[in-house]
Chains A and B, each alone.
Chain A
């Protein structure tokens, strides 16, 4: 279609076109909510470019251009150029942003895994400076897919930008109640606490440790909670938390898992790193666990656990005061370094 032809077809658009309702192309779901019938002149994406080229050439900022963006978006909601043009028009034509919120709400419901739609919503919320619908809307999307990455990203932005922290921990707990394995919820827990009370307060930290241990007892093979426990304790040193090692060793009897064993390795490693004095026993236990994980309990990670064992052995082997050997050349003509250190440890 030439520009001339395109402009001709656009004459009197959208009034001059057939009305249509029906399944939207690109929809992931069936058309449960057709907002209103729309006129259609864009049948293919080629049509889209033909029309837009004609409009952009004249830098047209009109209502018909605005209506056209909606059609283009319907054909391909990932067309970021069209979304940007729509935003330019929203401002130039001083369109009703509340109506735009309704529009973008419907689009996101239909295609919640698209970058552009969430970014567009963020822009409209910013222009309106009104986040009042956001937490409820995002919760609705998350109720359909509790791990939607874009939804969580938008939520974190809203919380931080507008300081709406008050009910978020409660919301996170509700999600974890529904699915204790929801890693996004665990991440959100960390996000909320980090941005509010922080983890420095011992009573907060202890509360979180207790909460985690409680969840571990309920479902010991849930990797998320083990990662969370490590995540909140690692900066202060796993081995420094009083009584933790004992609690984990106790759990080992009845609630064992590869994650528990890995956590023990982490505690022992931290102890080796941060405790002075004879650590031969600790090293020995750590190495034994690495071997157990590599050979039996977590064999998919055999190469990794073997490496951890070798590293610990090299670093903490008694009688070997240096922690690292001198850095090998980056360009090695031939492999002359043996894979396993031959140091023997007094055990």
Chain B
């Protein structure tokens, strides 16, 4: 295990040379990029002045207080997420599990009861009570329940109805709409594959043609877009790749181009990741983008590659940790996109998830840690496909595999 209390990459004399070169041609893209770099430079310079010895610190207590409060009560500012309440449960619970903070039994039980109210009578989970089922809150609810991991939690999920919900949003071309009457994009395949595999409701035809459809989202850049034809984007690329890993079809992708694309998304100056080429760094891509490298590593390894590193992912782990720790923490708790932005639970979840990816290489058999700053910055490892802790994944799979796969009896295909 490596602990980096020594030179920070962003303090190095070569760091300034990594700033954006605009070739004397100013455009909106270059102007915005330079603004961000200036703000990062400011943060780093202030940090240097305050701390003679660089020991970036994860503000554990502050984040814990922020999360603990959020689980019980959210301000009016969160009305915009009123159709995403299971997401809030998942973002907060996952953040707490990464921080290795236990959730009190009573609260866990309350969350279970709340999520039960979000479950639709026709299957799947909705953004809130009395709303329609939607694949995104379904993904979030199932993940949240698996994090809680009690029998009560598992028993909330109506597996038969969930299966019929998945069939009801399945399209003839292999894709899924996000909800009845809703839009198609590659997120839906990940949400469907994730919940189906965790709760053991995969049937032979459920994902028919889905791998082919996902692969058609890979474009000339090497990454995946939301639907075929669109620009390669970190969030969608993660969803597509992770879904294919679940379905065992990751080799249908051009893994080499995908690797080149995602490796190129790490910002040479900031250390964090951008979501798309020539766009700005954002803390949440610490997971969506960096999280692709463990998936690619495993896929390449499975394909017979013997030249893969045994110690490191194919991105700059130290640089990412520095970006998150120095630039993405709110001193009052919670994490964020970039300096100047407000904290929120989404960024808290994905910055911490990205920090975990950057700290932990390998799997159960082969594990190599690289912790930037104090040892106390260490987070729990997360499962690269589901983004909940590996023990919770194993436990859920073990539980649900004791139950029979529900009967297929698919609902007639309901197009939007």
Contact = CB atoms under 8 A, between A and B. Distances in A.
A297 to B, nearest CB: 10
A332 B80 CA distance: 47
B131 A81 contact: yes
Contacts of B172: none
Given A300-B18, A300-B266, A181 B230 contact: no
A333 B365 contact: yes
Given A327-B303, A328-B306, A187 B221 contact: yes
* Most chain A CB inside 10 Å of its own CB: which residue of B219, B260, B307, B314: B307
Interface string A104-128: 0000000000010011001100000
Nearest to B220: A231
Contacts of A221: 20-23
Interface in A139-160: 146-147, 149, 152-153, 156, 160
B98 to A, nearest CB: 24
Contacts of B219: 187, 190, 231
B304 A325 contact: yes
B30 A181 contact: yes
Contact of B304 (A190, A327, A332): A327
Interface residues of A, number: 79
B45 interface: no
Interface string B12-54: 0010001011110101111000000000000000000000000
A301 B83 contact: no
A308 to B, nearest CB: 9
Does more than half of chain A's interface fall in helix, strand or loop, or is it mixed? helix
A327 B308 CA distance: 13
A335 B181 contact: no
A228 B82 CA distance: 40
A119 B304 CA distance: 43
Contact of A304 (B27, B232, B314, B416): B314
Contacts of B303: 327
A122 B184 CA distance: 12
Interface string B242-255: 00000000000000
B68 interface: no
A48 B223 CA distance: 40
A311 B307 contact: yes
B312 to A, nearest CB: 5
Interface stretch (A61-69, A72-80, A243-251, A274-282): A72-80
Contacts of A298: 268
Nearest to A258: B268
Nearest to A87: B181
B306 A181 contact: no
State which size class the interface on B falls in. 35 or more
B1 interface: no
B324 to A, nearest CB: 15
Contact of A227 (B21, B221, B226): B221
B307 A341 contact: yes
B83 A76 contact: yes
A79 B306 contact: no
Contacts of A84: 132, 179-182
B269 to A, nearest CB: 9
Contacts of A81: 83, 126-127, 130-132
Nearest to A221: B21
A160 to B, nearest CB: 8
B183 interface: yes
B184 to A, nearest CB: 10
A179 B23 contact: no
B129 interface: yes
Contacts of B29: 179, 181-182
B207 interface: no
Nearest to A156: B229
A300 B316 contact: yes
Contacts of A87: 181
Interface string B66-109: 00000000001001111110000000000000000000000000
A180 B27 contact: yes
A53 interface: yes
Given A181-B27, A187-B232, A311-B307, 6 more contacts: A80-B83, A81-B131, A84-B181, A156-B229, A187-B225, A324-B304
22 contacts: A44-B79, A78-B81, A78-B83, A79-B82, A80-B83, A84-B182, A147-B276, A181-B278, A183-B278, A187-B230, A221-B23, A222-B23, A222-B278, A227-B277, A232-B220, A299-B268, A300-B266, A301-B263, A302-B316, A328-B306, A332-B365, A337-B306
Interface of A: 25-26, 44-45, 49, 52-53, 56, 75-76, 78-81, 84, 87, 115, 118-119, 122-123, 146-147, 149, 152-153, 156, 160, 178-184, 187, 190-191, 218-224, 227-228, 231-232, 234, 257, 298-304, 306-307, 310-311, 313-314, 324-328, 330-335, 337, 339-341
By Cβ-Cβ distance, the 6 closest A-B pairs, closest first, are A231-B220, A181-B29, A327-B304, A179-B27, A310-B307, A187-B231
Interface of B: 14, 18, 20-23, 25, 27-30, 76, 79-84, 126-132, 134, 178-183, 219-221, 225-227, 229-233, 257, 259-260, 263-264, 266-268, 271, 276-279, 301-316, 319, 365-366, 416
